[in-house]
Structure 1
Amino acid sequence: MLKHLIGAAALTLLSTAALADNPRVQLSTSLGDIVVELNEEQAPISTENFLRYVEAGHYNGVIFHRVIPGFMIQTGGFDSNMRQLDTGRPIKNEADNGLKNRRYTLAMARTQIVDSATSQFFINLGDNDFLDHGGRDFGYAVFGEVVSGQNVVETIGKVQTTSRAGHQNVPVNPVSIISATRLEESAE
């Protein structure tokens, strides 16, 4: 009934305004800028964790160390020499938060241990339902989505890869995050 009273366009504006309150981060990469919006309400632990790494400058200079076309691009843990960076303590896995591993969403990377995520995250290049909670195991916690720079994500997802330093699917020509910056909330 509300939809009929105020119209679909107004609902879209209300929905966009609600999202504008969420934290946003710009990832300036060697291939262009990506802006991500975090879902603080449904993924508070992962959002706080990610912002802590952003504010500490952890992501500045890291590379996308795992790129699998049509699946995902992963970053947050290695420098250009494939040295793993120091991280904080692992966080609780929030994969049961209702958010789904859909195209252009961000999710925390982890080991086979459910609560092992630290700084690494990935951007889904497709709808990866099997990564959702209960899909095959506890799942991978989605905590945000790309709101600008999807073309950059797609470009990264198509770079040529090789094996390097014991890792597969590493870009032949490194793709790095030059800086990760929290964007200020608009004063509107």
Structure 2
Amino acid sequence: MKGVVFTEFLEMVEDRFSADMVDHIIDDAQVPHGGVYTAVGTYPHGEIVAMVMALSQRSGTPAPDLIRVFGQHLFGRFVLAYPHFFIGVKDAFHFLSGIENIIHAEVLKLYPDAELPKFIVEHHDPHRLVLLYQSPRHFEDLAEGLMRGCLAHFGEPIHIEREPTPTTAGAHAQRFVLTRQG
């Protein structure tokens, strides 16, 4: 997993909790890199999972909730860091339906070794978008958080439903059904 995810997670923990909490979760998680990450480095995803679990234990907040909040935070950071991804994008459905072919294609140019999840558009019309998420890592909550961050960015009232799907070829899968409200 790219280091930018780690650095942003630790920044979110510091902003929402404290610098002391960052130190505590790094100590509790006993991560091999000792909490020292560079944005362009690549690290085992198990390290962020361990830190999330440590934060959950210390804060009393369920890990899935923390991961979704982190996804929202991360989307906001992407908006600031990569404003060119949003030029000409009219709404959340337009953005989300282009994750695989536009966003991930650009990310792979910057980080050729990035191991990205796959988002397959199963249905897209003005009122409904269905995305199939596939990844060898179990980060459906992060994907949902990123989607919620996108919806907040565009200010759209869209309901998200998650439907489990069978795991295929070692990849976790989840279907996200997004429906415009009103």
Q: TM-score, normalised by structure 2?
A: 0.26
Which structure shows the bigger proportion of residues in helix conformation?
Answer: 2
Query: Which of structures 1 and 2 has the larger relative contact order (alpha carbons within 8 angstroms, sep 6+)?
Result: 1
Q: TM-score, normalised by structure 1?
A: 0.25
